[in-house]
Structure 1
Amino acid sequence: MFSYLRDHILMGMAGLRLFSGMIEVTAAVAMFYFGSVQKAVQINAGLALVGPTVLILVTSLGLIGLADKLEFWRMFVVMGGVGLILWGVRG
């Protein structure tokens, strides 16, 4: 019944990860282009926003896709795990 929706969710998850990877590669090229440690640190700081955002979006899409298979409390466990990851890596 939900296979059509799952295919779109899978494509969305993979697409977000590809987009995130393209941003990372573009940032690396920009670091080489500017040739400055100061600019590289600034670019890297911008990437610090991309990673967690993509993590949250892809996890949310995955939970939507699994909504009919997972019990409600297990979704909160997964969301809590993502929150702990983000809390653990904060600076």
Structure 2
Amino acid sequence: MSMAGLRILSALIELSAAIAMLFLNDVKKALAVNAFLAMVGPTILITTMSIGLISLSDDLSVSKLVFIAIGVGFILYGIYK
């Protein structure tokens, strides 16, 4: 439920940003709104992944958790580099 709630919150933030871009009607201001979204997206991704991994941690072996952590690290590296 918490993962779905975070995704709904993310969708509402994205929709609000799109509406704000339409009302602002300026490329520079729209770019600023988009920059804010660039921070929100990875934060929601990390949070939802953390919630999922914590709930699955009893069922997964340590080696699988390490591989998942490496994958998340690659995603973060790709986003910020």
- Give me the TM-score of the superposition, normalised by structure 1: 0.84
- Superposed CA RMSD in Å reads 0.9
Q: What is the aligned counterpart of 1:82 among 69, 72, 75?
A: 72
Query: Matched residues, percent identical?
Result: 48
Q: Distance in 1 between matches of 2:78 and 2:66?
A: 18
Q: What is the aligned counterpart of 1:39 among 29, 35, 42?
A: 29
Structure 1 gaps of 5+ residues are 1-10
Q: What is the aligned counterpart of 2:13 among 23, 26, 29?
A: 23
Q: Distance in 1 between matches of 2:80 and 2:57?
A: 29
Deviating above 6 A after TM superposition, structure 1's stretches of 4 or more consecutive aligned residues are: none
Give the match's secondary structure for 1:81: helix
- Give me the TM-score of the superposition, normalised by structure 2: 0.94
Q: Deviations over 1:3-48 (max 9, x none)?
A: xxxxxxxx00010011001000000000001110000000000001
Q: Distance in 2 between matches of 1:20 and 1:84?
A: 22
Matched residue count: 81
Structure 2 gaps of 5+ residues are none
